[in-house]
Structure 1
Amino acid sequence: MIEHLLVFITLFILIHIYFKIADKYNIIDKPNHRSAHSQITLRGGGIIFPIAFMIFCLFNCKETIQVYWPFGLGLLAICLVSFIDDIKTLSGKVRISVHFISVCLLLYFTKTFNLLPFWTWPMFFIMIIGTLNAYNFMDGINGMTGAYTLVTLLTLLYINQDIIAFTADDFITYAILASLVFLFFNFRKKAKCFAGDVGSMGIGFWVIGLVTLLIMKTQDYKYILLFSVYGMEVVLTIIERLSLKENIFEAHRRHLYQLLANEKKLSHLTISSIYAISQLVINVFLLHTKLPIGIVILIIFIPFGAIYLGMKISLKRKMKSVIK
């Protein structure tokens, strides 16, 4: 506990130092046509996540070299390219190349290459890249990334301690401490900072690594449903944009959380809490059910999907009536 308190305080101090650097070098997020915020805010507060991993390495030097080096290289690579992209837009080829290398390192770290036949590897590449991008797409309002991530990490810590040990507790706990520090400055009506790509990609990479470790340990693929809410939101939004013949790679404001924030004018913190609590409800059900994964998917996605689509249809009708 003392170690964790010291780490929390250290992270708190380090993020303050970053704020001074970001302010000096104008690392800010300016609102644009698709933003859910209206004020200039410091960007890149999510740098606290790779910093938390580096502190984890300092306390676990020998084990880090032997066990965590592939994960560490992948995390730092994806965070570095994302941080640079936060400051100066990089070409898609550079980002994709680094993401590919980082995912390779992640799959090596989780022993996916050893435990699964080679013909399944492309599926894992697609799932991981898709989940990373989901984290990036959903990082658009105050509290969303931090609150949703905290729920997932606490669930993983519970699994690790009470159901099946799949990694060191501190490998999860340090990510939780970083999330709490970030939330202190982000879960506000007027956020002190945003995660930026370095934050959404960094913590996304970390959580994906943990979930992949869990799946490889248990060979139970139901744990992919720890990303249910983000996954459903992103997939349904992509389907909607494809049906409208829109370019899915262009910026947009079609996510439900964007509509709730921009059109419904619902509080960012309320929306973020709803998303986090929804995933928490799913996680509790997931950990206590013994039903086959196919039935679990139906039980989760039919009601949540219906609520999602119902809210979106209602919001669009109101928008059309206002325009008329």
Structure 2
Amino acid sequence: MEYIFVTLLLFVSILIYFKIADKYNIIDKPNHRSAHTQITLRGGGIIFPIAFIIFCFFNFDEVIQNYWSFGLGLLAICTISFIDDVRTLSNKIRLSVHLISVVLLLYFTGAFTLMPVWVWPILFIVIIGTLNAYNFMDGINGMTGLYSLVTLGSLAYINREVIQFTDHSFIYYPVLACAVFLFFNFRKKARCFAGDVGSMGIGFWVIGLITLLIMRTGEYKYILLLSIYGMEVVLTIMERLLLKENIFEAHRRHLYQLFANEKKVSHLIISFVYALCQLIINIFLIHSQLPIWVVFLIIFIPAGVVYLGLKWSLKKKYNL
């Protein structure tokens, strides 16, 4: 009953936001990087911090005791991201808030206690890099929501069937938020886009859960729950560096962008395929008893070959 009520609250919340966004012209205008051609409401991903606020109401004592640092980090990164959606902020301001949020996230997961000091800078780099990867990959209808739903579903399965590393509801709330967001976003003509507040918000929540799982189990293989995003972003950055391009400037070199913009494949099909590929990897990952380096090789060698082959073929065909 609780989850039905939460779902209704999330629907009402996002519909209220639509009215606010429409009134104050919070929109996403297509540019040379965009895979869409129509003006659409931006910031629909505000539903993710709202989901955490609702979580606080239903689990107040638990939040005060265990989740306060995560909540502060999430709300901080979502607030600065939403402001950046409305008006462009300097990189220094955004990075400063990101660093503070990551500190709070690592405190929440117990990393400062469980990991030696020399590992801390590595964790900062990996988490901030992963957050930005989440943001880079938010470019077409359904991508962020569907991919996150697969990862969260995998985490929920692990939490229930393999090892309980957190409260079940702490995973179910973002699952419900993803489902509600997808109702408005997983369409040929999306009603709204996630915006930075959405990609950073759900990215922070997912990364927090994965980090918590790794800290509880000592199994670093679970970072591969985001392996498709990781491979795509790393290979694209390497390509841009080889071409001597500024990796911080907007571009259309991701494989999903080539399929959407040049080949004109449906956004929904692309998003579904990315999510399906990650789901297949997750099923193998969860049930595998192989050493982590073997798992890495089994996942990344065939996936990398397919990725590079498809990208080379598209670039050759469209003279890119």
Indicate yes or no: 2:97 matched with 1:98.
Answer: yes
Matches within 5 A, 1:144-293: 144-293=143-292
Unaligned runs of 5+ in 2: none
- The 2-side partners of 1:98 and 1:314 are apart by 40
SS of equivalent to 1:155: helix
Aligned-residue Cα RMSD (Å) equals: 0.6
- Equivalences for residues 96-135 of structure 1 within 5 A: 96-135=95-134
Q: Deviations over 1:145-180 (max 9, x none)?
A: 000000000000000000000000000000000000
- Structure 1: distance between partners of 2:287 and 2:96: 40
Residues 55-102 of structure 1 show CA distances to partners (whole Å, capped at 9, x for unaligned) of: 000001111111101000000000000000000000100000000000
Amino acid at match of 2:90: S
Amino acid at match of 1:20: K
SS in 1 for 2:265: coil
Task: Quote the offset at 1:34 in angstroms.
Answer: 1.1
Query: What's the TM-score once normalised by structure 1's chain length?
Result: 0.98
Q: Does 1:34 find its partner at 2:44?
A: no
CA distances 1:239-280 after superposition (whole Å, capped 9, x unpaired) = 000000111111100000000000010000000000000000
Deviation of 1:288 (Å): 1.1
User: Which residue of structure 2 aligns with residue 3 of structure 1?
Assistant: 2
How many residue pairs get aligned? The number is: 320
Q: Gaps (5+ residues) in structure 1? A: none
Partners of 2:20 and 2:300 lie apart in 1 by 43
Q: Counterpart of 2:274 in structure 1: which amino acid? A: Y
What is the rounded CA distance, in whole Å, between the counterparts of 1:296 and 1:217 in structure 2? 20
Task: Give the Å deviation of 1:229.
Answer: 0.1
Which residue identity is paired with 1:41? T
Q: State how far apart, in whole Å, the 2-side matches of 1:18 and 1:120 are.
A: 40
Q: Which amino acid in the other structure matches residue 101 of structure 2?
A: S
Query: Which amino acid letter does the alignment assign opposite residue 210 of structure 2?
Result: V
Shift of 1:49: 0.2
* TM-score of the pair, normalised by structure 2: 0.99
Q: Which residue of 1 aligns with 2:318?
A: 319
Q: For 1:163 and 1:292, locate their aligned partners in 2 and report how far apart those are by CA, in whole Å.
A: 18
Q: Aligned AA for 1:219? A: G
- Give distance in 2, aligned partners of 1:199 and 1:31: 18
Q: Which aligned segments of 4 or more residues in structure 1 are displaced greater than 4 angstroms?
A: none
- Cα distance in 2 for partners of 1:76, 1:211 equals 19
1:205-227 deviation line (CA, Å, top 9, x unaligned): 00000000000000000000001
For residue 141 of structure 1, report the CA deviation from its aligned partner.
0.1
1:266 alignment partner, SS class: coil
Mapped partners of 2:93, 2:31: distance in 1: 25
Within 5 A, what are the aligned runs for 1:70-85?
Answer: 70-85=69-84
Partner SS state of residue 78, structure 1: helix
For 1:120 and 1:88, the matched residues in 2 are separated by: 35
Q: How far, CA to CA, are the matches of 1:91 and 1:249 in structure 2? A: 13
User: How far 1:40 moved relative to its partner?
Assistant: 0.2
